[in-house]
Structure 1
Amino acid sequence: MLIKLLSERYQVVQVLSQGTFCKTYMAEDTYLPHRPTCVIKHFLPSSELSIPVEIRRRLFNRETQALQKLGDYDLVPHLLTYFEDDQEFYLVQQFIAGHTLSTELQPGYCWTQSQVIQLLREVLEILHFVHSHGLIHRDVKPSNIIRRTSDNRLVLIDFGAVKPILTQLVKNQKNLVPIEYSTIAIGTPGYMPSEQQRGRPKPNSDIYALGMIAIQALTGVHPTQLPENRKTGEIIWQHLAEVNVEFAAVINRMVRYHFQDRYKSAKEVLEALLPLINNQDATLLSKFPSHNNLSAYQSHAVISSTISAPLLEKPTSIPETSVIPKNSPLVVGLLIGVVSGLILMVVSYWSLQIISPEPNIQNSLPTPGNINR
């Protein structure tokens, strides 16, 4: 742990992770009231990498420019600031309170297909945003996905390995040909595809990593422990999971060994999942037969309100299905008439009792001699 303040402002309180390319600290901002918590990433530390400071500075500037493109997107940590301190380079990011997906992916514990579909939906949305801004995350793994405490949403963190999608067009006779340059191979075994290991990551390298997380969730087995086909390099996993054929096909295409055989974008994966999502929603709808005639939007609202409504909450208004019919004025009038008639009958009866003489009760009683007659 560092004793001195970084940039004479940030007090490190805990080391979160330590690797060759990046060290991550939890720190307090001493300049602000209540000393809010933030995350500081020590970019390409000189103690771990013997790279000239000029090159590290150039790479650092490129990374900060890439992170600034993400702006204030809610599902990634915000880049608060960045600075150089004694020829070391640091990124200061928003602290996300929650727990990592690693704590939910326990060995031997298998998620359901619907749970994994929801996981894919959330993370693919984030990857679509990141890729649309010309960036590759390069380190999508369970420990870099946080389930945020405030709203239970998944948040993608640790953009210390982010790489711009860079290509250079060079003239080859009459055609313009995109040339891709190799970079440092950054990633995590089990989630890193072959092209990324060679230093040539693609946007669908992140899709491969997410597909491996899905397989890990479905099987309860870490990716490094899954068998591979020796001839094709494809992952063998379906015998360990309970999924339908359509969903297995989507997962298999996400994790193809050759990147050319995978989905090209996160949007393309979401489109492939759409029929499965609709079927999943239809299954949920079948539990509410009274709403089958509603539109898709209304049905979704019915399901959401049914699931999330407090069990003991009192209704604020009488619904149309109440026991009181719509033509209540007529019914009320009839009820008033009936009650009024009954009142008049009672009043008339008691009036007659008062006017007529009291009957001889004794005469009405049977005598011993005529009881059995």
Structure 2
Amino acid sequence: MLIKLLSERYQVVQVLSQGMFCKTYMAEDTHLPNRPTCVVKHFLPSSEVPIPGEIRRRLFNRETQALQKLGDYDLVPHLLTYFEDDQEFYLVQQFIEGHTLSTELQPGYCWSQSKVIQLLQEVLEILHFVHSHGLIHRDVKPSNIMRRIPDNRLVLIDFGAVKPILTQLVKHKKNIVPIEQSTIAIGTPGYMPSEQQRGRPRPNSDIYALGMIAIQALTGVHPTQLPENRKTGEIVWQHLANVNVELAAVINKMVCYHFQDRYKSAQEVLAALLPHINHQDVTLLSTFLSQNILSAYHSNAASHSAISAPLLEKQTSIPETSIIPKKSPLLVGLVIGVVSGLILMVVSYWSLQIISPEPNTQNSLPTPKGINH
């Protein structure tokens, strides 16, 4: 632990991680009441890492500008401040309380399809936001996705490899021709697609990385240990997973070897995923409610008061594992329709069979001839 305060303000508590270019500390802000926790990212000096100072400064400026661009978006760490001290560079970021997906993706442990779809939904929404601001993350991997403790949401961290989506425009015979700019190959083996290894990342390079995380979750196998088709370069994985054809097709398109064959944007993936999510959600939810309502009816049909409470309780206790899209009015309408229909059916039947009024002897119909009481 460092004794010296960074920028005469930040007291380092512990080292969180160390990568190729930087070291990350947990620190306390001594200038604020209660000394709140923050994260300080220290771009390593040239004495520790053989990287020229101008490249270190460029990486520092690029990450700073990227975090400033993303502003106060809730699912990436907020940039609090940044500073330079004796030709060393520091970023101060919001501390995210939680754990990374690396702790959840254990070898041999396979996630359910519903949990994988939830993962894809959440991270695709973040990638859409990042890409819409002209940025490629370039290092989407389990250790850079955190599950935040207070609300269980996923947060994308570590924008140290971020790169702007840029094309260089040059004039060629009165036409403007876009020329791709090559860059240093940065990424993590197993999650980095071929074009990124060549130094030409695209937004759907991040989509490839997320698709590989989904395959890892479904199979329990690290991407570097998965076989591939020698002729096409495509990952071979479906025989290792319990996955339906629709979801497998979406993931396979996310991780196509050639970027031209992949989805072009996070929005395209979400659009392809949404019909499958809706079908699964409505089926699961209607089955769950039907089973619980019928169970409540058979066990409590003798008493109105006995049936009401369990019925309402079971209807509202929808499992957390069900993946209901947050912004899908169609799905909400379908779910409401299913619930309302089932409730109406049970209430109507109960009204006819259980609480029908006692016969009124004064107004009863005359007994037909030939029938004896």
TM-score bracket, shorter-length normalisation: 0.7 to 0.9
In 1, distance between residues paired with 2:330 and 2:21?
Answer: 52
* 1:93 Cα offset (Å): 0.7
Q: What is the identity, as a one-letter code, of the residue corresponding to 2:45?
A: P
Which residue of structure 1 lines up, in the alignment, with residue 215 of structure 2? 215
SS at match of 1:155: strand
Equivalent pair of 2:167/2:179 in contact (CA under 8 Å)? yes
Alignment of 1:271-290 (within 5 A): 271-287=271-287, 288-289=289-290
Alignment of 1:330-369 (within 5 A): none
In 2, distance between residues paired with 1:295 and 1:117?
Answer: 18
In 2, distance between residues paired with 1:296 and 1:67?
Answer: 34
Distance 1:32 1:302, change over 3 A: farther
Alignment of 1:189-204 (within 5 A): 189-204=189-204
Which residue of structure 2 lines up, in the alignment, with residue 341 of structure 1? none
In 2, distance between residues paired with 1:166 and 1:126?
Answer: 20
Equivalent pair of 2:138/2:205 in contact (CA under 8 Å)? yes
Note the alpha carbon deviations across 1:348-372, whole angstroms, 9 max, x for none: xxxxxxxxxxxxxxxxxxxxxxxxx
Which residue of structure 1 lines up, in the alignment, with residue 143 of structure 2? 143
Equivalent pair of 1:285/1:299 in contact (CA under 8 Å)? no
Note the alpha carbon deviations across 1:222-277, whole angstroms, 9 max, x for none: 11111111121111100000111111111111111111111110000000101111
* 1:43 Cα offset (Å): 2.6
In 1, distance between residues paired with 2:191 and 2:330?
Answer: 40
Q: What is the identity, as a one-letter code, of the residue corresponding to 2:130?
A: V
In 1, distance between residues paired with 2:45 and 2:78?
Answer: 22
In 2, distance between residues paired with 1:81 and 1:275?
Answer: 42
Alignment of 1:40-189 (within 5 A): 40-43=40-43, 45-189=45-189
In 2, distance between residues paired with 1:43 and 1:20?
Answer: 9
* 1:197 Cα offset (Å): 1.4
Distance 1:171 1:49, change over 3 A: farther
Note the alpha carbon deviations across 1:312-332, whole angstroms, 9 max, x for none: xxxxxxxx98x999xxxxx9x
Which residue of structure 2 lines up, in the alignment, with residue 261 of structure 1? 261
Equivalent pair of 1:41/1:160 in contact (CA under 8 Å)? no
TM-score of the aligned structures, taking structure 2 as reference length: 0.78
Q: What is the identity, as a one-letter code, of the residue corresponding to 2:257?
A: Y
Aligned length: 317
SS at match of 1:131: helix
Q: What is the identity, as a one-letter code, of the residue corresponding to 2:247?
A: F
Structure showing greater radius of gyration is: 1
SS at match of 2:70: coil
In 1, distance between residues paired with 2:208 and 2:262?
Answer: 8
After superposition, the CA RMSD in angstroms is 3.0
Equivalent pair of 1:100/1:145 in contact (CA under 8 Å)? yes
Equivalent pair of 2:189/2:224 in contact (CA under 8 Å)? yes
In 2, distance between residues paired with 1:140 and 1:47?
Answer: 28
Which residue of structure 2 lines up, in the alignment, with residue 338 of structure 1? none
Q: What is the identity, as a one-letter code, of the residue corresponding to 2:49?
A: L
* 1:153 Cα offset (Å): 0.8
* 1:301 Cα offset (Å): 5.9
* 1:73 Cα offset (Å): 0.6
Equivalent pair of 1:21/1:48 in contact (CA under 8 Å)? no
Distance 1:220 1:265, change over 3 A: same
| Long gaps (5+) in structure 2 | 294-314, 316-328, 340-346, 361-373
Note the alpha carbon deviations across 1:27-62, whole angstroms, 9 max, x for none: 111111111111111235323433443443344223
In 2, distance between residues paired with 1:301 and 1:162?
Answer: 42
Q: What is the identity, as a one-letter code, of the residue corresponding to 1:198?
A: R
Which residue of structure 1 lines up, in the alignment, with residue 332 of structure 2? 297
Equivalent pair of 1:45/1:88 in contact (CA under 8 Å)? yes
- Is 1:227 matched with 2:262? no
Of residues 294-303 and 137-146 in structure 1, the stretch that sits farther from structure 2 once superposed is 294-303
Which residue of structure 2 lines up, in the alignment, with residue 317 of structure 1? none
Alignment of 1:14-29 (within 5 A): 14-29=14-29
